[in-house]
Chains A and B, each alone.
Chain A
Amino acid sequence: MADVLTVAGLKAYYQTNYFGVQREVRAVDDISITVRADEVYGIAGESSSGKTTLIKTFAGAIHPPLRIVGGSMRYRFDGQEIDPYAVSAEELNRLRWRHVSYIMQGSMSVLNPVRRIHRSFADFAFSHMDLPKARFWQAVEEHLERLSLSPDVLRGYPHELSGGMRQRVTIALATVCRPGFIIADEPTTALDVVVQKDVLALLDDIRRTLKSSVVFVTHDMSVHANMADRIGIMYAGRIVEEGPTRALFTAPKHPYTAHLVASLPRIGDATRKPALGGRPPALSDPPGGCRFHPRCPLAIDKCRTEVPPLETVGADHRSACWRSAEVEPLTPPSGASGEEVA
């Protein structure tokens, strides 16, 4: 299977220099991943883990103070390699929406609140489709029908639609140009359970039809369990584990992943779940060595000083942990009054 996106050693830092005080926030620190054709790559991580910065670099949306400090990134569409940071602004614009599109979390802030929805479609997609106006609207309406949305939504204002409906419209908007690469940033986080499943089913359906690759970002592991082919777990600006969904859930090889999976509440299981102590590190001043070591139950001296490399630990499975061989799935002690993992 061909790789659609290849990222090697990518470093994107926020660098500020005000009144002679220099600050550097290493939001994306040495990340290497590949996204293959026709797969869903899930990125899991909590707030301030750098996941939003990472997908900003994917979308080619780097603005100061965010800078790319090192590493490389390459898209491959129709046998053509494109480096979004080497091409002209014009070419980057052509790459966007046609090949790379973006589904955002806040559907209300994507759609212009004072204009009818068809205006948003015209703004976003018209210039990328190279179609005469009449053909363009025909294509938009066909696309909406494929997503079981009535073309009537085009005439409405965003506030007239429910949250779930709006999110479906933004998915329609992001997929109308049939892009090969879709970035979905927490598309269901603000939605109710029933609507969430609706939206996920729609996204799953459209990507199977288009055979696009999707980078799906959410902190909700239960969404990843159902959507992703492979998952990359981010912690404090780095990928700490990456592997096929099933392997990550059944045999995690990083203590952070093991904790995320073990702490998922399930219907039918009320035994006490372990909670992780401590707090996510500040990216402006991350701990040395492995960034997870202050919260890690398996930490040894080496973890405090040396950064563990992301190494292969199984088929298609990489983990950045000095003690990955000793990581066991955390099955919460049944009956016992489970203590917090220090």
Chain B
Amino acid sequence: MSAPLDAPPSVEAVVLWLALLAPPLLGLAAWRLPPRRMLPVLLVGTPLPLATLWLLHRVSVGGGLEGAWSLAGLRLHWHLDGLAGLLLLLTQLLLLASAAYAVGHRRAAAVPERTFALFWPLLGGLAAALGLIWVAADLLTLYAALELMGLTAVGMMLLPGTGEALLAGMRYLLYALVGSLAWLLGVALLLGATGRLDLAGLAAASEPGAVTGIAMALLAAGLLLKAAIFPLHGWLVPVHASAWTPVSALHGALVVKASFFILMQLWQRLVPEAVAAAWLLGLLGSLAVLWGGLQACRASALKQVVAWSTVGQLGYLMLAFPLLAGTSAAVATLAWQATWLQLAGHALAKAAMFMAAGNLVLADGVSRLTDLAGACRQLPLALMTFGIAAVTLMGLPPSAGFTAKWLLLQAAILAGQWPWVVVLVVGTLLTATYVFRVFRCAFVEASPRHEVRPLPAGMDLVALLLALAALGLGLGAEWPLALLREEGMP
């Protein structure tokens, strides 16, 4: 189905670009007319994932789509394969959930309407940026989308308007700018060496050597910074402490993953055989798992636990690099599926967990773990949602995290890379430690009863649905994984 370049666009391409460009327009509309109820948001947003589902069906039948734009003398490439389509679907579902949740959040947290109206265009911009990242096939589009994503994310972090939020947001901006700088340098080097910017052309034109190596190192450094991979994670936890819950959910679920996705795309095309560097990334990931887990065990506030858990969980994704570099096809296929399943499961579960934690904090009016005593009696649904999301994070059955861990273990064992088996085991136990620490606090019975603020039912429901989706993806993983297996790796 791949159309020749500059041919009249196919129906699929039109649908894709409509789905990509609709969110910013909807965001602008919502800025002028902020929605007050969840239902209209859901009704307006639902066609987007449906369109993506249809596209995925077309892709699975007829193979990937690709094309290019000519813009002021530059050719910008895009492509939609199964992976990009699945990630687009995931993004749309999470954005929709966050949008619905945000409506309830505004009401429950009594945010002034004019401040909150700004959330919508930023959300639309973030949606467009993420969509572009999944389908972009050249470095220039990727750069533009990455910057747009960073700026909208910082903008959303600044929305609460407190001094704390401002400080954390500015620090985030600074880190993001440094990351962009490294990225630009890397792109410049590649452009100078090969004269190409499109990914397919780069993969063909670049040859292993010092220039490619240095360029990839710069690109990787920039992306690792934006993805908050250990030891470049310093900005992540503070921004979550002050951000609104729907913003935290989106950030933890999608924004950091987008940088990882780009890194993986470039790595597979430019330096697929760089085993030592891949092991270095795997090592960083292992340290992230340990450090994030340990810090989450020590954190005293609920949102901090969840944020540190993101640092740790991102580490699992990094294990993909050593398992993909220079290993047999069987190992690589397993690791490839494991990585994206882990990413999807974590995205759903982390969004659910941030929302559940947000609900607990908002309804209970406390943010410290030790103040959660009695929460199981007063806020059972929020706690249950937290628990279901935690099952995925711990990688216990029947969740997506479990199936992904099974695949990762299988890949590591088949490749004989035993260090990662240890990392997975230790990471699981650390995750269980911080998750059940929360529950130990919540199960305490001897506690003074305090007032609980009622929240809109939709807020609990959205979080629960996301958590259940992460759980259901564990045993229902065959359809997306089959799509990934069929098209292979770049």
Asked whether A and B interact, the reply is no
Residues of B within 8 A of A (CB): none
Residues of A within 8 A of B (CB): none
